[in-house]
Every structure is written in structure tokens, then in C-alpha cells.
A and B are shown apart, each in its own frame.
Chain A
Amino acid sequence: KAGVTQTPRYLIKTRGQQVTLSCSPISGHRSVSWYQQTPGQGLQFLFEYFSETQRNKGNFPGRFSGRQFSNSRSEMNVSTLELGDSALYLCASSFAGTGLEAFFGQGTRLTVV
């Protein structure tokens, strides 16, 4: 059974640009959650999508957005990139939601210069 797949693995962007990250969950999983991980802040919850609807949202500015498609694949978009957005972005898939076991992808390492 394939795991959670995130693309791309690495990205370098310039301040002010926007970026889109992709996450394909484990087959059959309908929930995708996104996290930002930085050395100082640890794993910070961004949002969760379930059946194409955003069900939970963390405390991030509106520059961070996402969506989920009918096949459960999810994308996360960050607009007007700032240096502080440099982080490892992780997505996790779960069968039914955030109360159940979640499995992480390998992450996308974003560097903003």
C-alpha cells in the first residue's frame, strides 16, 4: 500500500512569490492535514480537509490556503512568501479525521530567499 506522497521534496522561492505544494494521501483516506515544522515552533497545524471541505484551521494568516480534490489529493498554497515561511511542510492523511491515526508524507522543504 503506497504511503503519503508529497511533491516537490524541495523548493527554493524568492520573497513575494507564491508556491503550491501537493499531497496525495494513502488510498482510502479522506482526511488530509497540513503542518508547518520549524526548529523553534515545532509542528504547527495549518488546516485539515475532509471530503473536499476545510474542516479545521490553525492560526495562520490568509496567505496560507488549501484545497482538496474529489480524489482526496490536496494542495496547499502560500502567497506573497516571506522569509519566515521557510520550513518543512508536512501533510498527514487519516481515514476519517484528526481524531484518528495519521500518517505523514516525507514533507516539502521550502526555502524562501
Chain B
Amino acid sequence: QKEVEQNSGPLSVPEGAIASLNCTYSDRGSQSFFWYRQYSGKSPELIMSIYSNGDKEDGRFTAQLNKASQYVSLLIRDSQPSDSATYLCAVNIPNRDDKIIFGKGTRLHILP
């Protein structure tokens, strides 16, 4: 099982709808979870971090964490064409010296 898994996409969502991005991880001891957005040809940009079970909201973005299910998600409300990018999930792996491991990312395409 890969340490951090994401559906590669592309995920196509109509403008104005909710985009839902999912990520699963293998290490039950993981405590830190991050979502990065990466535009083509650019470096990853941190958009959300979450450390506790439940939801964390920041503007149009909501991160959801369920440690029992080893699942973290990112919801983007009122999707805009500018949200079209690759979204990377990152998780710390305690049994590997607390490294941050990235998923391969989900490509999101917002349809105008």
C-alpha cells in the first residue's frame, strides 16, 4: 500500500460547483496533514493544514480529517476556473523519521 494515495484525475467540475478531493494514508500515527496547490510550471503552494479530526474551513476551502478511516479531503466551494490546478496531499510519516510524504496529486479542471 502506498503511503499517501490520491486519485490522479483529471477531476472535472462545473464552475460554481463543489470540488471534492480525496486522500488516504497508510500510517495510523500520522498527525500532520497538508494540502498544496500546484499550477502547471509552478511550485506547490500551501493552502490548508489540518492536525485534528473534523473540519477546518478557510474561505472557500474546507479540509476534512478522519484519522480512524485514515482519510483526508479538501472541498472547494463555488469552484472558479482559477482553481484548475494539481492538488497535492502531504502527510507526515512518524515511523520514517517524521518525513513529509506527498501524494502524486489530483488534477482538477474547472469547466467554465
Which segment of B13-21, B64-72, B73-81, B101-109 sits at the interface? B101-109
Considering the complex, give the chain A residue whose CB is closest to the CB of B103.
Answer: A42
Contact of A43 among B31, B42, B45, B102 (CB under 8 A): B102
- B111 close to chain A: CB less than 8 A: no
Residues of chain B at interface, number, CB under 8 A: 21
Which segment of A12-20, A67-75, A76-84, A94-102 sits at the interface? A94-102
Residues of chain A at interface, number, CB under 8 A: 23
Contact between B92 and A98, CB atoms less than 8 A apart: yes
Contact between B98 and A105, CB atoms less than 8 A apart: no
Contact between B100 and A33, CB atoms less than 8 A apart: yes
Contact between B43 and A98, CB atoms less than 8 A apart: no
Inter-chain contacts of A25 with B (CB < 8 A)? none
